[in-house]
Amino acid sequence: MVDLDKCLERLRSLIAEAHTNGIQMAEKAIEEYLAATPPTAQKEGLQSVQQAVQTHRDDATGVYRSFADVVNDYIEEKMRAFE
């Protein structure tokens, strides 16, 4: 749970800043979370991350929403590995 909370905290911060170089940091946060999570819990964990990102996206406008969309697209890409 600590790893999930750490990932979510980093993503919230990056979405709030919405710097284009933050996309790589968001991807890194997701990758670090996956690396620290047992394979059996990764899909459920990514779903939780995606839900949190979606919540922030729904509350955002402009570049902040666009940034959240890019992060969500990256999560979607990762989720396809579980299909």
Q: Cα angle at 21 between 16 and 22, to 5 degrees?
A: 35
Provide the pLDDT for residue 56.
Answer: 86
pLDDT at position 21, please? 85
Question: Mind listing the pLDDT tens digit for each residue in 20-66?
Answer: 789 999 999 999 999 999 999 999 999 999 999 999 889 889 999 99
Does residue 9 register a pLDDT over 90? yes
Around 23, how many Cα atoms within 13 Å sit in the side-chain half-sphere? 14
Local structure of residue 83 (DSSP, 8 states): -
Do 22 and 14 meet the contact criterion of CB atoms below 8 Å apart? yes
pTM of the entire predicted model = 0.91
Gap between the Cα atoms of 58 and 65, Å rounded: 7
Is the pLDDT at 1 greater than 70? The verdict is no
Going from N- to C-terminal start, the domains of the chain cover 2-82
Judged against a pLDDT cut of 90, whether residue 2 lies above it is answered with no
How much is the pLDDT for 54? 93
Place of tokens 């990764």: 42
Asked if 9 and 52 touch (Cβ cutoff 8 Å), the reply is: no
CA 72 to CA 55: how far, in whole Å? 11
